[in-house]
């Protein structure tokens, strides 16, 4: 039996779970598959920040972003996908989730695998322009950097215990400060809650040989959020990210480990607010407060959700 982590017993986490309901949303024909989301902040915002987790994460690992940013008027959706075994399945399911929530576009904060699938979603849905911007945290553009890419087709056969041990190898055992240690304990606890199919499908996505074509994303505002201390990604992977997005803004944290959104949440939230600030006063704003300040002559793009209901929203706001 695994121990209960300090973070899951913290007042902040308990307040998060008691105030923001976990929603399970089925968008695929397979009724057994459900996205798990926490949706906080003003529902009048149709271009929220969507947080996508790493292989070992669940939607609630972003509770510090959900609580911290929603208090600043930002709509935040922490989203955990059901088992998808290839990128097309994931992208189709994520698009259906966006449609179900009646969102025009989304800003995506993706961590590790979450950052990779965010890039691929933006690349594969470029023609329908569902992504407003990307914040990429400790992530990568090429899955062949992982040692298990040669055996990714066999993950569905492996028992849950073996899959968990593969992931646990990425968690540092070095001496770290208290907040990083707490973040690791919390992530281990989340990892224990995942089923065999959830783990196997995510590892399959993470390790099946694929790469991002960043030249197809050069129209998007991108922020790369990196941690300079010990983390799972090598300096070569980090440098490849910089070369792939030369136009990106860089947000560096001196420390924070693999999970800075937990261990250094104040700094991460500040960088997210700075990233989102460039959209203030536009229909791509993730903030209700920014929508209040939007010029009255701003016209929604024809065909978007906002085109049909934005005027009604502004009447209510005023």
Residue 304: per-residue pLDDT: 45
Question: What are phi and psi for residue 208, nearest 5 degrees?
Answer: -65, 130
Residue 231: per-residue pLDDT: 63
DSSP 4: P
Would residue 1 count as lying in a domain? no
Do 120 and 87 form a contact (C-beta atoms < 8 A)? yes
Residue 300: per-residue pLDDT: 46
- Find the domain containing 134 and state its range: 7-317
Would residue 136 count as lying in a domain? yes
Residue 124: per-residue pLDDT: 92
Using alpha carbons only, give the angle 92, 201, 264 rounded to the nearest 5 degrees.
90
Rg (CA), the chain: 19
CA gap 140, 113 in Å, rounded: 8
The 10 Å Cβ neighbour count of residue 178 is: 9
CA gap 129, 273 in Å, rounded: 22
Residue 230: per-residue pLDDT: 63
DSSP 318: -
CA distances from 21 to 14, 27, 37, 38, 77 (A): 12, 19, 9, 6, 12
Structure tokens belonging to residue 170: 């990425």
Residue with tokens 């798990």: 36
Count of residues for the chain?
A: 318
CA gap 24, 21 in Å, rounded: 10
Residue 294: per-residue pLDDT: 55
Q: Mean pLDDT for each consecutive 10-residue tract of the chain (318 residues)?
A: 83 97 93 94 96 97 97 97 96 96 97 97 90 96 80 84 84 80 94 95 93 94 89 82 96 93 97 97 87 53 42 33
Residue 290: per-residue pLDDT: 63
Would residue 157 count as lying in a domain? yes
Stretch (H or E) spanning 198? helix 196-207
Would residue 201 count as lying in a domain? yes
CATH code (residue 122): 3.40.50.1820
Stretch (H or E) spanning 167? helix 160-168
Residue 24: per-residue pLDDT: 97
CA gap 249, 108 in Å, rounded: 15
Do 220 and 122 form a contact (C-beta atoms < 8 A)? yes
CA gap 36, 183 in Å, rounded: 21
Would residue 2 count as lying in a domain? no
Do 37 and 20 form a contact (C-beta atoms < 8 A)? no
Q: How many separate domains does the chain show? A: 1
CA gap 265, 54 in Å, rounded: 16
Residue with tokens 């553009």: 141
CA gap 192, 78 in Å, rounded: 19
Between strands 35-40 and 76-80, the pairing is: antiparallel
DSSP 177: -
DSSP 142: B
pTM of the model: 0.89
Residue with tokens 């490849």: 240
């Amino acid at each position: 039996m695994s121990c209960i982590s300090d973070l899951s017993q913290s007042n902040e986490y308990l307040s998060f779970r008691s105030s923001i309901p976990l929603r399970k949303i089925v968008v695929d024909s397979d009724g057994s598959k459900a996205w798990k989301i926490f949706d906080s902040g003003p529902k009048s915002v149709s271009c929220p920040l969507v947080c996508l987790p790493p292989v070992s994460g669940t939607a609630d690992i972003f509770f510090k972003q959900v609580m911290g940013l929603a208090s600043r008027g930002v709509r935040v959706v922490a989203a955990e996908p059901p088992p998808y075994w290839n990128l097309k399945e994931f992208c189709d399911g994520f698009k259906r989730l966006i449609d179900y929530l009646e969102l025009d576009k989304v800003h995506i904060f993706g961590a590790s695998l979450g950052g990779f699938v965010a890039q691929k979603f933006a690349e594969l849905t470029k023609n329908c322009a569902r992504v407003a911007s990307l914040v990429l945290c400790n992530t990568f553009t090429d899955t062949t950097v992982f040692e298990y890419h040669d055996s990714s087709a066999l993950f569905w056969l492996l028992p849950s215990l073996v899959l968990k041990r593969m992931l646990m190898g990425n968690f540092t055992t070095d001496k770290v400060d208290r907040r990083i240690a707490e973040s690791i304990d919390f992530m281990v606890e989340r990892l224990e809650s995942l089923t065999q199919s959830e783990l196997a499908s995510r590892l399959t996505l993470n390790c099946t040989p694929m790469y991002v074509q960043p030249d197809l994303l050069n129209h998007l505002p991108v922020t790369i959020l990196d941690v300079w201390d010990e983390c799972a990604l090598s300096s070569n992977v980090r440098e490849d990210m910089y070369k792939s997005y030369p136009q990106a803004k860089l947000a560096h944290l001196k420390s924070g480990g693999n999970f800075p959104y937990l261990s250094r949440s104040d700094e991460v939230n500040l960088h997210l607010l700075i990233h989102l600030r460039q959209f203030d006063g536009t229909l791509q704003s993730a903030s209700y407060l920014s929508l209040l300040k939007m010029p009255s002559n701003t016209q929604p793009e024809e065909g978007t959700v906002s085109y049909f209901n934005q005027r009604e929203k502004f009447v209510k706001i005023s």
